[in-house]
Amino acid sequence: MEKGINHYILNKFGIEPRDTRSYSPLVLAYIGDGIYDLVIRSMIVGRGNTHVNMLHKKTSQLVKAHAQSEMIGVLLVELTEEEQAVYRRGRNAHSVTMAKNATVADYRRATGFEALLGYLYLEDRMDRLMELVLLGLERMGKDGRERRGTCVTRKW
């Protein structure tokens, strides 16, 4: 079985992979936040060269806590029992910090979402991670496509 990007990075730095279950939910959320940000930035940049300010605005709309909370809301029915357990651990973790423009409920759901993505990343399950992000964006109508009748066009 071919190893994913996490194993590649760890190998280059001479670090042995750890059992993902040993990580706290906030550590999973920490890495999940970075991975989700990278996925969204890659998607936005891949759609075309434009001013950095515009790239930042588009990215911010998708990575803020409210958007992540909305995304996990549309994805919950798609999660396996294992994924739901990871999400709940992240959602229920008590963090000392809080997002400045988010409700407590949105922040906690977003933390659960990030923990799930961090878990999938560390388990080298990027296909599943991408499947969930794409499905979430589609269901939220934020996948970059504008729907007009049966024709689908790009918004950006």
Does the active-site annotation cover 33?
yes
- Strand spans (E) along 19-117: none
Residue 6 backbone phi and psi in degrees, to 5: -60, -45
3-state SS, residue 88: helix
DSSP 77: G
Residue 151 backbone phi and psi in degrees, to 5: -90, 135
DSSP 97: -
Of the candidates 19, 33, 37, 127, the residue annotated as catalytic is 33
Structure tokens belonging to residue 96: 């000392």
Helix (H) or strand (E) holding 23: none
* Cα 64 from Cα 103, distance rounded (Å): 11
3-state SS, residue 150: coil
Per the listing, tokens 């992240």 go with: 90
Catalytic residues: 33
